[in-house]
Amino acid sequence: MQAIQSVAVIGAGNMGSGIAQKTAQEEFDVQMVDREAQWVERGEKIISDFLSEAVERRIFTTQQVEEIQARITGVVGTENVAANTDLVIEAVFEDFDIKTVVFKTLNEVCGEGTILASNTSSLNVNSLAEASGRADRFVGLHFFYHPAKNRLIEVIPAEATSEESLAKVVQYCKAIGKVVLVCKDKPGFVVNRFFVPWLNEACLLLSEGIASAAQIDAVACKAFKIAMGPFALMNLTGPPIALHSTDYLAEQLNCPRWNGAQNLRDLVADGRMWELDEDTDCPSQAADIISERLLGQVFAVAAHIVDEEVCSMEDVDRGAKVGLRWALGPFELANRLGLEKALEMAESYSSLAGFKLPNFFAEQVATGEDFRFSFVDVSIDAGIATMQLNRPEAMNALNETIVEQLGAALDELNANDNISTIVLDGAGKAFVAGADVKFFVDKIRADSFSDIYDFTAFGHQVLNKLESSSKTTIALTTGLALGGGLELALACDHRIGTKKTQFRFPETSIGIFPGLGGSQRPARICGVPAARWAVMAGNFMDARTASDLGLLTHLVEISEVDALIPTLSKLENKYPGVPANPDSVVALFANSFYADENLESLLNGVCPDGFDSEDKNVSRQLKSLSRTAPIALRMASDLINKADLELADGLQAELDGLEQIFGTADALEGLSALIENRRPTYTNQ
C-alpha cells in the first residue's frame, strides 16, 4: 500500500492552517488552499506566529521552523490543487452546501488516486461522500482544536469507503501523531455526542438558578477532575459553536432536551461571553444537584454511544481523556463512583431527556462487577496476528492490567497452530513509553516492595512468552519506545522502525536500572560497550543509530512495513553480540569510550585517560552520566557485565537486584521527580 505523502488542506483559517502546520511538522508535503491570496497569507501568518512561539519555548529550533514552512505551499483557488495530491482535507465552514461545491471542484481536478476528506464535527459523512463524486475514496475526519496540539482525531468512514482508502487515511493520522478513533457515522460521532449536551446541561442548571456559572464550573472541575468547567470552556472556544452544535444534535437525534438553552441563545445573540466571578464556593445541596445532573448526562449518553456501536467503551474513554483532557473517561468515572450510583444518575437524566437507558448498564450492575476494559486488541489476517497495545492516553505505558492482558493474549496466540507471526504495535505516537511510573512511586511510599517484585517478575514471564515463542515475533517500533517498552520490543525476533523511531533507556536518570531485560538483551545484541552507551548514559537513539547498533533490525519507509512483515522468519542468531554496523560513528565511539578499562573512571564521574573532556561527544556523555543516580548507575553497569551468562541467569540477576534499588532514597526521588516534571537531586542513598 503506497502511503500518503502529499496533502492539500482547503481552508486557511484557524483549523485549516493548524492541520496544514501539523502535517508539515511531520514531514508531509502540504498545499494550503483558500479562495483569495489574502486568506492564504493570513493562514501563513497564523502558522508563522505559532511556530515563532514554539521557538521561544524551545519546542523547535529556527532551522526546524524553516524546514516546516518550506514544506507548505500556498495555493489560491481549489481548482489549482495539484492533480497528483494523495489526500485533500476540506476544512471550510460547517455548511453542507459550501462543502459540496468544494468537493465538486476537487473531484474534477484531482487524479483518480486522490482521497478526499472532510473535516467535520457534525455533518453526515455518508451524504458528504455521495456529494464528493468518489464515495469509495472519501473519509470523514474530526480534528480537535487546536489540531497542532490536540492528539485526538475521529475518523469516520462512509458506507462506501474502501478498506484501502480508510487504511491510508488512518496511517496518515497516526503518522502525524494522532490518537485515532474509528467510529460510525452517527450525529456527534463520539466525543461531541456526550460533551456538547454536557455544555448545554450546565446552561440549564444556570438558568434554573441552581448556582452561578463560576460555582457550576467549580463543581464540574471537582466531579470530572478537569482544569476548566463548561462555561470557561465555552468562553475559550466560543459560545456560538456550542449553540450550533447542541441544536444540531437535538434535531438529528430528536432530543428536545438538547435544544440550546435560552440563556445560551441570548448570550450568542448579544455577542457576550459568560461572566465568571471569583465566588466558586457552592452550597453542598446545590453541588450535589450539579454533579449528579452533569455526571448522569455523560453516563447516559456514553451508554447510548456504545449501545449503538458507534465505538467501544474504551474508545469513549480515550476520546474524553485525549480529546478533552479529562483524567478519567465516562465509564472509568462510573467505576470510580460506583456503578449502582452511576446507574441511578444515568436513569434520572434519561428521564429528564425523554429517552430510555440501554439495558447493558443495568445488566452490568447486576453482575456486581465494574466495567472491564480491554487494552490489548488482537486482529488476525492470513496467519499474522497483530496485537495493538491500546492505551494511548498514557503513551501505552505498561501497568498491571495491560501486562496481564498481554500475557493472556500471547498464551492464546502461541497455542494457535494457524498463526505463524505475532506483531506487537502501539496506538498513538508511541510503541510503549515504558512502565507506569506512578505504580512504583505508590508502592514505595506504601512500603509494598513485594508488589513491585511480583509485577516485574510477571513482566519477565510475559516477555519470555515472546522470547520462547515458536512464532515469528515482531515489534512495530515505528514511534517512541522507552524503558519497559524498548525492553518489550527487544524480546521479539524483529523490530521494524521508520525515520520517526526513537529509542531510549531512561532508567538510570530516574533512580533505577532497567528491570525487564534492559540490562541483558542490549549487551547480547550489540555488545557490552554499546549497551553501556545506551543503558548507563540513557542516550536517545534515532532510527539510524538504533539500526546501526542492531537494536532496530529493519529500518524502512512507513509504506514498506506491511509488505515486510510476511517476509520475516525466526532469526538464526538473535544475539550476535556486536553492533550491526561496527563502523558507524556511535559504535566506534561506544567501543572506545565505554571500554572496560574506562569503566571505573566513568562510574566515578572522571573523564577517562586519552579523552578530551572539552570534546563535544565526550562532554555530552559525562554530563549525562553526572545526572544519573550513582547507585543505579553502578548496579546497571554490574548487570550489563553479566552478558556472558545464560540469558535466564542474567534476567534473574535483574530480579535479584530489585529490592536493593527500590529500597534507595534515590529511586523514590528519581521516580517522583519524573511525575512532578522536575530535575531530581540524588544523595547516593
Q: Whose CA is closest to 542, among 557, 552, 554, 527? A: 552
The three cell numbers locating residue 470: 515458536
Write the CB contacts of 573 (distance below 8 Å, at least 6 apart in sequence).
none
Cα–Cα distance measured from residue 48 to residue 508, given in angstroms and rounded to the nearest whole number? 39
Burial letters 38-69, b for 16+ CB under 10 A, else e: ebbebbbebbeebbeebeeeeebeeeebeebe
Query: Annotated catalytic residue: which of 17, 118, 119, 121?
Result: 121
The residues that bridge with 155 in the sheet, in sequence order, are 141, 182
Number of residues that make up the chain: 685
For this structure, is 121 an active site residue? yes
| Cα(319)–Cα(393) distance, integer angstroms | 9
Q: What are phi and psi of 44, to 5 degrees?
A: -65, -35
Query: Which H or E run contains 404?
Result: helix 400-414
DSSP 265-308: HHHHHHT------S-----HHHHHHHHHHHHHHHHHHHHHHHHT
Nearest CA to 671 out of 506, 430, 457 is that of 506
CB neighbourhood size of 334 (10 A): 29
Q: Which of 86, 83, 84 is nearest to 28 (CA)?
A: 86
Q: Is 200 left (phi over 0), alpha (psi -120 to 50) or beta?
A: alpha
Known catalytic residue at 142: yes
Which residues does residue 503 pair with via DSSP β-bridges, in sequence order? 481, 541
Decide: 672 and 678 in contact? Cβ < 8 Å: no
Would the CA dihedral through 462, 463, 467, 471 be positive or negative?
positive
* Euclidean distance between CA atoms 74 and 80, whole angstroms: 10
Catalytic site residue from 17, 142, 507, 519: 142
Catalytic residue among 119, 192, 519, 547: 192
What whole-number distance in Å separates Cα of residue 386 and Cα of residue 492? 13
Residue 84 a catalytic site member: no
Q: Single out the catalytic residue among 26, 44, 154, 507.
A: 154
Contact (CB, 8 A) for 465 and 488:
no
For residues 362, 363, 368, 370, the Cα torsion angle rounded to the nearest 10 degrees is -80
N-term to C-term CA, the chain: 54
Show the cell assigned to 641. 557485565
Omega cis (within 30) before 146: yes
Residue 249 in grid coordinates: 444534535
Coil, helix or strand at residue 644: helix
Detail the DSSP E strand segments found in 534-583.
541-542, 554-555
Helical ranges in 57-132 per DSSP H:
62-70, 96-109, 125-132
Q: What is the DSSP string of 207-232?
A: HTTSS-HHHHHHHHHHHHT-SS-HHH
Q: And the C-alpha cell for 527?
A: 555488545
What are the cell numbers at 410? 500471547
CA 530/CA 615 separation, integer angstroms? 19
By annotation, the residues acting in catalysis are: 121, 142, 154, 192
